[in-house]
Amino acid sequence: MKSRITTVFTLIITVFSGTAIAFPFENSHQVYVDDVRIHYRYWPVAKEELKGSFLLVHGFAGSTFSWQEVADSLQNLGYAVVAVDLPPFGFSDKSSRINRSITAHAERLHQLIHTSFPGRTWHLAGHSMGGAVVQAYALMYPEDLNSVTFVAGALFSRISEGGQQVNFLLRLSPLRFVLGELAEQWFITGNRVEQLLESAYGKPPTEEQVNAYLQPLRIPGTARAILSSAAYNREIRSLEANALEVPAIAIWGKEDTWVNYRGRKPVLEQMQNLHLVLLEDTGHNPMETHFDAFMKAWLAALQGMHYTQ
């Protein structure tokens, strides 16, 4: 079966250092936040049927595709959903000079929803790297949220404002260009993406899943932007995990070898009002590989703790 992402990918016009692209999905939108182009997808619900709103954030090398099935399900249940591509992933900005720190991502998300969806409160969820982004958001802007959910979250104990000094070689555009070209040609391939997904999923991915992850990564400029992340990564706020006030859920697959639950347990123990869910025989991407079990556990946790009221 031909992949939806393969079809929509042909709609791309061009991408280079932030140049706009054609909308890749029927529900695609874009907004500029501090001159950074953000692609997001919106699953609306009629006002008279609206039960609440969810904001979903993918992990490293992911995109809105990571949450596609979840978003479809939530919309059918009466919840409006926004899924965002964090630069430089998916179909968002590919500029190499964007601050891609955890807190900078959180600040852009805050501006996006207040610009495009003013007056709402949100159930916020993030996967893997996106878990750290939503953790930062919940600490920075708790008044925006009804709940926060970490799915195999790469959580932090604390973040310090500022950043480490980076070797000046990482800032040299010619070097980044060469390394980026090499990465795009030799590392970002179908076989490698398939291998990585099989490791994360704990089972072989489908052709659609491989294409959905591969094709946004193959957009020119993505690899260069990823390689420059260390050079343009400066936290804009200092945060500590134990200051979390938003009701929180953490969902982990017990067989996750990418972001192991035991390695994040000390961080989770610092958080108040946290509900932990462990899924049996499940790896790093439970919302994709074990959708039914994931949704059942997540919705039960939300409803049991009155987050969806």
pLDDT at 224: 82
Backbone phi, then psi, for 201, in 5-degree steps? -75, -30
C-alpha–C-alpha distance, residues 242 and 268, integer Å = 9
pLDDT at 228: 75
Average pLDDT (205-232) is 87
My answer on whether omega of the bond before 88 falls inside 30° of 0, hence cis, is yes
Retrieve residue 59's tokens. 């992990």
CB atoms within 10 A of CB 232: 19
**Tens digits of per-residue pLDDT, 239-291?**
999 999 999 999 999 999 999 999 999 999 999 889 999 999 999 999 999 99
Q: Could you tell me the CA-to-CA distances from 48 to 38, 72, 146, 299 in Å, in that order?
A: 29, 19, 20, 21
pLDDT at 184: 52
pLDDT at 7: 33
Residue 130 pLDDT level (bands cut at 50, 70, 90): very high
Expressed in percent and rounded to 5, the helix, strand and coil fractions of the chain are 45, 20, 40
Retrieve residue 197's tokens. 């997904």
C-alpha–C-alpha distance, residues 21 and 271, integer Å = 40
Which residues partner with 278 through β-bridges? 252
* Gyration radius from the chain CA atoms: 18
- Rounded percentage of the chain residues whose pLDDT exceeds 70: 83
C-alpha–C-alpha distance, residues 136 and 151, integer Å = 14
C-alpha–C-alpha distance, residues 17 and 43, integer Å = 28
pLDDT at 156: 96
Residues written for the chain: 309
Residue 186 pLDDT level (bands cut at 50, 70, 90): very low
Which residues partner with 223 through β-bridges? none
Task: Report whether 247 contacts 122 (CB < 8 A).
Answer: no
The yes-or-no verdict on residue 230 having pLDDT over 90 is: no
Distance of CA 304 to the CA centre of its chain: 25
- Which are the contacts of 147, defined by CB distance < 8 A and separation ≥ 6? 123, 124, 246, 247, 248, 249, 302, 305, 307
Average pLDDT (63-84) is 98
C-alpha–C-alpha distance, residues 301 and 102, integer Å = 26
Domain extent listing, the chain: 4-303
Answer with the residue of higher pLDDT: 190 or 5: 190
End-to-end CA distance of the chain: 39
The yes-or-no verdict on residue 201 having pLDDT over 70 is: yes
Task: Report whether 307 contacts 146 (CB < 8 A).
Answer: yes
**Tens digits of per-residue pLDDT, 10-69?**
344 344 344 445 678 999 999 999 999 999 999 999 999 999 999 999 999 999 999 999
Q: For the range 296-304, what are the long-range contacts, defined as Cβ-Cβ under 8 Å and sequence gap of 24 or more?
A: 297/251, 298/149, 298/249, 298/251, 299/77, 301/249, 301/251, 301/275, 301/277, 302/123, 302/147, 302/249, 304/275
Retrieve residue 74's tokens. 């939530």
Distance of CA 62 to the CA centre of its chain: 7
pLDDT at 225: 85
Handedness of CA 130, 136, 138, 142 (dihedral sign): negative
Answer with the residue of higher pLDDT: 135 or 273: 135
**Second-level CATH architecture of 4-303:** 3-Layer(aba) Sandwich (3.40)
Q: Which of 107-116, 150-159, 160-169, 256-265 has the lowest mean pLDDT?
A: 160-169
Q: Which of 127-131, 165-169, 297-301 has the lowest mean pLDDT?
A: 165-169
Indicate the helix (H) or strand (E) that contains 129: helix 129-140
Handedness of CA 183, 109, 39, 212 (dihedral sign): positive
pLDDT at 16: 38
3-state secondary structure of 114: helix
Distance of CA 271 to the CA centre of its chain: 21
